Amino acid sequence: MNENKPLSLGVLISGTGTNLQAIIDEIEAGRLSARIAVVISNRSRAPGLERARRHGLETMVIDHRGFASREEFDRQLAAVLNRHGVELVVCAGFMRLLSPVMLDAFPNRIMNIHPSLLPAFPGINAQRAALQHGARWTGCTVFFVSAGVDDGPIIIQAVVPILPDDDEGRLSARILCQEHRIYPYAIRLYQEGRLELQQRRVVVRGALLVPPDQAWLNPPLAAC
Ligand code: GRF
Protein backbone atom coordinates (compact mmCIF):
# COMPACT_ATOMS: atom_id res chain seq x y z
CA MET A 1 0.00 0.00 0.00
CA ASN A 2 1.27 3.45 -0.94
CA GLU A 3 0.51 5.71 2.03
CA ASN A 4 0.55 8.86 -0.09
CA LYS A 5 -1.94 7.61 -2.62
CA PRO A 6 -5.67 7.95 -1.90
CA LEU A 7 -7.10 4.57 -1.03
CA SER A 8 -9.64 3.19 -3.49
CA LEU A 9 -12.80 2.09 -1.66
CA GLY A 10 -15.75 -0.04 -2.69
CA VAL A 11 -18.67 0.55 -0.31
CA LEU A 12 -21.37 -2.10 0.06
CA ILE A 13 -24.77 -1.03 1.40
CA SER A 14 -28.31 -2.35 1.81
CA GLY A 15 -30.08 0.53 3.52
CA THR A 16 -29.93 4.07 4.80
CA GLY A 17 -26.24 4.64 4.25
CA THR A 18 -25.48 6.98 7.15
CA ASN A 19 -22.08 5.32 7.62
CA LEU A 20 -21.45 5.79 3.89
CA GLN A 21 -22.33 9.46 4.43
CA ALA A 22 -19.87 9.76 7.31
CA ILE A 23 -17.11 8.34 5.08
CA ILE A 24 -18.03 10.68 2.20
CA ASP A 25 -17.97 13.64 4.62
CA GLU A 26 -14.51 12.77 5.91
CA ILE A 27 -13.15 12.42 2.37
CA GLU A 28 -14.71 15.70 1.27
CA ALA A 29 -13.35 17.45 4.36
CA GLY A 30 -9.85 16.27 3.41
CA ARG A 31 -9.43 14.20 6.58
CA LEU A 32 -9.45 10.83 4.82
CA SER A 33 -7.22 10.24 1.83
CA ALA A 34 -9.49 7.96 -0.14
CA ARG A 35 -11.81 7.88 -3.11
CA ILE A 36 -15.00 5.87 -3.35
CA ALA A 37 -14.65 4.01 -6.65
CA VAL A 38 -18.11 2.43 -6.48
CA VAL A 39 -21.09 2.07 -4.13
CA ILE A 40 -22.88 -1.25 -4.55
CA SER A 41 -26.26 -2.12 -3.06
CA ASN A 42 -28.03 -5.46 -3.14
CA ARG A 43 -31.32 -3.55 -2.81
CA SER A 44 -32.43 -1.20 -5.58
CA ARG A 45 -34.39 0.98 -3.16
CA ALA A 46 -31.64 1.50 -0.59
CA PRO A 47 -31.76 5.24 0.32
CA GLY A 48 -27.96 5.17 0.56
CA LEU A 49 -27.80 4.97 -3.25
CA GLU A 50 -29.34 8.44 -3.48
CA ARG A 51 -26.76 9.82 -1.03
CA ALA A 52 -23.99 8.40 -3.22
CA ARG A 53 -25.47 9.90 -6.38
CA ARG A 54 -25.83 13.31 -4.73
CA HIS A 55 -22.06 13.25 -4.25
CA GLY A 56 -21.41 12.21 -7.85
CA LEU A 57 -20.34 8.67 -6.96
CA GLU A 58 -20.79 5.70 -9.25
CA THR A 59 -23.48 3.34 -7.99
CA MET A 60 -24.54 -0.13 -8.93
CA VAL A 61 -27.32 -2.49 -7.83
CA ILE A 62 -26.51 -6.19 -7.71
CA ASP A 63 -29.69 -7.89 -6.52
CA HIS A 64 -28.80 -11.07 -4.68
CA ARG A 65 -32.15 -12.59 -5.68
CA GLY A 66 -30.91 -12.90 -9.24
CA PHE A 67 -28.24 -15.44 -8.26
CA ALA A 68 -28.59 -19.16 -7.61
CA SER A 69 -26.13 -19.17 -4.70
CA ARG A 70 -24.25 -16.91 -2.30
CA GLU A 71 -21.04 -17.84 -4.12
CA GLU A 72 -22.36 -16.78 -7.52
CA PHE A 73 -23.50 -13.46 -6.09
CA ASP A 74 -20.08 -12.96 -4.49
CA ARG A 75 -18.30 -13.78 -7.75
CA GLN A 76 -20.18 -10.99 -9.46
CA LEU A 77 -19.52 -8.64 -6.53
CA ALA A 78 -15.78 -9.38 -6.59
CA ALA A 79 -15.63 -8.93 -10.38
CA VAL A 80 -17.25 -5.48 -10.18
CA LEU A 81 -15.04 -4.39 -7.25
CA ASN A 82 -11.90 -5.57 -9.06
CA ARG A 83 -12.97 -3.86 -12.26
CA HIS A 84 -13.16 -0.60 -10.29
CA GLY A 85 -9.67 -1.10 -8.84
CA VAL A 86 -10.99 -1.36 -5.28
CA GLU A 87 -8.28 -1.85 -2.64
CA LEU A 88 -10.48 -1.93 0.48
CA VAL A 89 -14.07 -3.19 0.63
CA VAL A 90 -16.19 -1.34 3.21
CA CYS A 91 -19.43 -2.99 4.33
CA ALA A 92 -21.70 -0.24 5.62
CA GLY A 93 -25.03 -1.72 6.64
CA PHE A 94 -24.64 -4.46 4.02
CA MET A 95 -27.06 -7.18 5.07
CA ARG A 96 -25.43 -10.14 3.33
CA LEU A 97 -22.98 -12.68 4.69
CA LEU A 98 -19.90 -12.96 2.51
CA SER A 99 -18.74 -16.37 1.32
CA PRO A 100 -15.12 -17.56 0.90
CA VAL A 101 -15.36 -16.33 -2.70
CA MET A 102 -15.27 -12.70 -1.50
CA LEU A 103 -12.92 -13.41 1.42
CA ASP A 104 -10.39 -15.01 -0.97
CA ALA A 105 -10.75 -12.21 -3.51
CA PHE A 106 -10.02 -9.55 -0.83
CA PRO A 107 -8.03 -11.25 1.96
CA ASN A 108 -7.93 -9.00 5.07
CA ARG A 109 -9.22 -6.23 2.84
CA ILE A 110 -12.89 -6.20 3.87
CA MET A 111 -14.08 -4.13 6.83
CA ASN A 112 -17.44 -4.18 8.55
CA ILE A 113 -19.11 -2.32 11.40
CA HIS A 114 -21.40 -3.86 13.98
CA PRO A 115 -23.57 -2.08 16.60
CA SER A 116 -22.29 -3.90 19.69
CA LEU A 117 -19.08 -4.47 21.57
CA LEU A 118 -18.08 -7.71 19.87
CA PRO A 119 -17.85 -10.56 20.66
CA ALA A 120 -21.02 -9.71 22.63
CA PHE A 121 -24.26 -9.71 20.67
CA PRO A 122 -23.24 -10.70 17.12
CA GLY A 123 -25.88 -11.02 14.41
CA ILE A 124 -29.01 -8.98 13.84
CA ASN A 125 -30.82 -6.74 16.36
CA ALA A 126 -27.68 -6.33 18.45
CA GLN A 127 -28.95 -3.17 20.18
CA ARG A 128 -32.18 -4.92 21.24
CA ALA A 129 -30.21 -7.94 22.44
CA ALA A 130 -27.95 -5.76 24.63
CA LEU A 131 -30.99 -3.98 26.12
CA GLN A 132 -32.87 -7.21 26.78
CA HIS A 133 -29.80 -8.76 28.35
CA GLY A 134 -29.60 -5.89 30.81
CA ALA A 135 -26.05 -4.98 29.84
CA ARG A 136 -24.75 -1.70 31.27
CA TRP A 137 -22.48 -0.93 28.32
CA THR A 138 -22.64 -1.65 24.64
CA GLY A 139 -21.20 0.18 21.65
CA CYS A 140 -19.88 -0.52 18.19
CA THR A 141 -17.00 -2.38 16.58
CA VAL A 142 -15.11 -2.05 13.29
CA PHE A 143 -13.45 -5.32 12.30
CA PHE A 144 -11.92 -7.19 9.39
CA VAL A 145 -14.44 -9.62 7.95
CA SER A 146 -13.58 -13.29 8.38
CA ALA A 147 -15.46 -16.54 7.81
CA GLY A 148 -17.43 -16.37 11.10
CA VAL A 149 -20.40 -14.06 11.68
CA ASP A 150 -19.13 -10.76 13.18
CA ASP A 151 -16.07 -12.68 14.33
CA GLY A 152 -13.11 -11.08 12.55
CA PRO A 153 -10.10 -9.23 14.01
CA ILE A 154 -11.19 -6.09 15.87
CA ILE A 155 -9.77 -2.74 14.72
CA ILE A 156 -11.53 -0.22 16.95
CA GLN A 157 -14.46 -0.09 19.37
CA ALA A 158 -16.49 2.71 20.93
CA VAL A 159 -18.24 2.15 24.26
CA VAL A 160 -21.77 3.48 24.77
CA PRO A 161 -23.65 3.35 28.11
CA ILE A 162 -27.11 1.84 28.34
CA LEU A 163 -29.32 4.22 30.32
CA PRO A 164 -32.23 3.18 32.54
CA ASP A 165 -34.87 4.76 30.28
CA ASP A 166 -33.34 3.64 26.98
CA ASP A 167 -35.42 2.06 24.29
CA GLU A 168 -34.04 0.43 21.16
CA GLY A 169 -34.42 3.60 19.09
CA ARG A 170 -32.64 5.93 21.51
CA LEU A 171 -29.84 3.47 22.14
CA SER A 172 -29.38 2.74 18.43
CA ALA A 173 -29.15 6.47 17.67
CA ARG A 174 -26.42 7.00 20.27
CA ILE A 175 -24.49 3.99 18.97
CA LEU A 176 -24.85 5.23 15.39
CA CYS A 177 -23.25 8.57 16.34
CA GLN A 178 -20.18 6.66 17.49
CA GLU A 179 -20.21 4.46 14.37
CA HIS A 180 -19.88 7.61 12.28
CA ARG A 181 -16.76 8.55 14.24
CA ILE A 182 -14.95 5.22 14.30
CA TYR A 183 -15.59 3.90 10.79
CA PRO A 184 -13.83 6.71 8.88
CA TYR A 185 -11.07 6.58 11.52
CA ALA A 186 -10.52 2.83 10.99
CA ILE A 187 -10.30 3.39 7.22
CA ARG A 188 -7.81 6.17 7.81
CA LEU A 189 -5.63 3.90 9.95
CA TYR A 190 -5.69 1.34 7.13
CA GLN A 191 -4.85 3.97 4.51
CA GLU A 192 -1.93 5.15 6.61
CA GLY A 193 -0.61 1.58 6.77
CA ARG A 194 -0.92 1.50 10.56
CA LEU A 195 -2.93 -1.72 10.97
CA GLU A 196 -0.87 -4.84 11.43
CA LEU A 197 -2.56 -8.21 11.73
CA GLN A 198 -0.96 -10.61 14.24
CA GLN A 199 -3.07 -13.79 14.15
CA ARG A 200 -6.47 -12.46 15.18
CA ARG A 201 -5.17 -9.32 16.87
CA VAL A 202 -4.90 -6.03 15.07
CA VAL A 203 -1.98 -3.93 16.26
CA VAL A 204 -2.48 -0.22 15.63
CA ARG A 205 0.90 1.40 15.10
CA GLY A 206 1.43 4.82 16.66
CA ALA A 207 -1.91 4.83 18.46
CA LEU A 208 -2.39 6.79 21.68
CA LEU A 209 -2.80 4.39 24.59
CA VAL A 210 -5.83 4.35 26.83
CA PRO A 211 -4.47 5.06 30.34
CA PRO A 212 -4.05 1.63 31.98
CA ASP A 213 -5.98 2.68 35.09
CA GLN A 214 -8.93 3.97 33.10
CA ALA A 215 -12.16 2.07 33.67
CA TRP A 216 -15.80 3.02 33.35
CA LEU A 217 -18.51 2.06 35.82
CA ASN A 218 -22.22 2.14 35.02
CA PRO A 219 -23.84 3.22 37.26
CA PRO A 220 -20.92 5.34 38.45
CA LEU A 221 -19.71 4.73 42.00
CA ALA A 222 -20.62 8.27 43.06
CA ALA A 223 -24.29 7.49 42.41
CA CYS A 224 -24.36 4.46 44.73
C1 GRF B 1 -25.44 0.25 11.44
O2 GRF B 1 -25.99 0.19 12.73
C3 GRF B 1 -24.35 -0.76 11.28
O4 GRF B 1 -23.64 -0.99 12.45
C5 GRF B 1 -25.12 -2.00 10.88
O6 GRF B 1 -26.16 -1.54 10.05
C7 GRF B 1 -26.44 -0.17 10.36
C8 GRF B 1 -26.25 0.57 9.08
O9 GRF B 1 -26.65 1.89 9.15
N10 GRF B 1 -24.22 -2.94 10.25
P11 GRF B 1 -26.43 2.84 7.90
O12 GRF B 1 -27.05 2.16 6.67
O13 GRF B 1 -24.97 3.09 7.73
O14 GRF B 1 -27.20 4.09 8.24
pLDDT computed for residue 5 by the predictor: 86
Nearest CA to ligand 1 atom 7: 93
CATH number at 172 reads 3.40.50.170
pLDDT computed for residue 223 by the predictor: 60
pLDDT computed for residue 2 by the predictor: 55
Which of 70, 78, 80, 123 lies closest to 103, judged by CA? Answer: 78
Q: Give residues (CB < 6 A) around ligand 1.
A: 15-19, 48, 92-93, 113-115, 176, 179
Which residue type occupies 207?
A
Q: How many independent structural domains does the chain possess? A: 1
Q: How far from 114 is each of 53, 172, 212, CA to CA, in Å?
A: 25, 11, 26
Contact 186, 137 (CB under 8 A): no
pLDDT computed for residue 154 by the predictor: 98
Q: With b meaning 16 or more CB within 10 Å and e meaning fewer, what string describes 170-197?
A: ebbebbbebbbebbbbbbbbbbeeebee
* Structural domain for 107, as ranges: 7-207
Q: How far from 142 is each of 14, 53, 110, CA to CA, in Å?
A: 17, 25, 11
DSSP, collapsed to helix, strand or coil, labels residue 168 as helix
pLDDT computed for residue 224 by the predictor: 53
**pTM of the predicted protein model:** 0.96
pLDDT computed for residue 221 by the predictor: 83
How do 201-204 and 110-114 pair as beta strands? Answer: unpaired
Which residue type occupies 34?
A
> What is the CA(93)–ligand 1 centre distance, in A?
4
Q: Which residues pair with 61 in a beta bridge?
A: 41
DSSP, collapsed to helix, strand or coil, labels residue 59 as strand
Q: How far from 156 is each of 46, 52, 111, 218, CA to CA, in Å?
A: 27, 25, 11, 21
> What is the CA(221)–ligand 1 centre distance, in A?
33
> Does residue 214 form part of some domain?
no
> Does residue 203 form part of some domain?
yes
> Does residue 215 form part of some domain?
no
Contact 53, 20 (CB under 8 A): no
Give φ, ψ of 54 to 5 degrees.
-60, -25
Residue 37 half-sphere exposure toward CB, CA atoms < 13 A? 16
> Does residue 108 form part of some domain?
yes
Contact 37, 5 (CB under 8 A): no
Catalytic residue annotation? 114
> Does residue 224 form part of some domain?
no
Nearest CA to ligand 1 atom 14: 18
Using alpha carbons only, give the angle 108, 112, 115 rounded to the nearest 5 degrees. 145
- Name the DSSP class of 54: H
Residues with pLDDT less than 70, the chain: 1-3, 223-224
